[in-house]
Amino acid sequence: MEPTPQKQGINLPTAIVIAALLIAGAIVWNKPAQVIPGAQQKAPENVLAPVTSEDHVLGNENAQVFIVEYSDTACPFCKLFHVTMKKIMESYGKQGNVAWVYRHFPLDKPNAEGFILHPNAGREAQALECAADIGGNEAFWTYTNRLYDITPSVTSQSPQGLDQTQLYKIAEFTGLDAAKFKTCLDSGKFKEKVEESYLEGVNAGVAGTPYSFIITRSGKKAPINGARSYNEVKAAIDAMLAQEN
């Protein structure tokens, strides 16, 4: 059985303290998250790749705060956090204060015993890239949202996760050219790009998913390890916005 995500709330004074500690870099959220088999958790190093035009960004590209998320489409905690991030963007995105950056961190690498946690995660990440390549940024986010909506997480009950034929059906749902999408995905065109994203995450200290960094235009950074609640993420964002104003 996979661990049950924590859903307990926090009161306002506690939220203020937590947010302050996040900004100071004093704590890192530790769970719930899907960890790499055999990997050791470590504090993030100061090598987070900067946000560029190559990234998939939802929201104002000149926002004061960016949330850079490293995610795995087959991770059950990523599914939960995806819902949280959509709610964050509903609250902050319309005002242009927060932007969401999605990066790939597929847990499809074998551990020392040869066990692979999410065997299809890399291919699913490539499908997201194909959607962006064919339909642009809007198609990327439409495809991503649909995939998270319909895919079963990899659990003991559904060890293979999403039926891979659904990747083509999601492309049709998104309005992409079906033939172009199939050619793109079957060719492995974006396999290297997905691997580069994974390695950038490792270099930034990511050892599981979801793992996010809240960063400001002035350079402040706070890591969030795991599928934290809306209130917890909101507290950190509010504190950082206050620092920027």
What ranges in the chain are assigned the alpha helix state H?
12-24, 76-92, 121-150, 166-174, 178-187, 191-203, 230-244
pLDDT, tens digit, for every residue of 80-138? 999 999 999 999 988 899 999 999 999 999 988 899 999 999 999 999 999 999 999 99
CATH label of the domain that carries residue 165 = 3.40.30.10
Q: Is 100 inside any structural domain?
A: yes
Q: Is 19 inside any structural domain?
A: yes
- Are 230 and 137 in contact, with CB atoms under 8 Å apart? no
Count the residues in the chain: 245
Q: Is 239 inside any structural domain?
A: yes
Asked, as a colleague might, if the bond just before 223 is cis with ω within 30 of 0, I would say no
Q: Is 5 inside any structural domain?
A: no
Is 70 exceeded by the pLDDT of residue 207?
A: yes
| Domain total in the chain | 1
CA angle 198, 36, 186 (to 5 degrees): 50
pLDDT at 57: 97
pLDDT, tens digit, for every residue of 38-82? 444 444 455 899 999 999 999 999 999 999 999 999 999 999 999
Q: Is 4 inside any structural domain?
A: no
d(CA 96, CA 87): 14
Q: What is the pTM of this model?
A: 0.82
Q: Is 21 inside any structural domain?
A: yes
Is residue 136 helix, strand or coil? helix
Domain that holds residue 43: 12-244
214 pLDDT band, cuts 50/70/90, is very high
pLDDT at 121: 95
- % of the chain beyond a pLDDT of 70: 80
pLDDT at 156: 73
Q: Is 224 inside any structural domain?
A: yes
Q: Is 7 inside any structural domain?
A: no
pLDDT, the chain, mean: 84
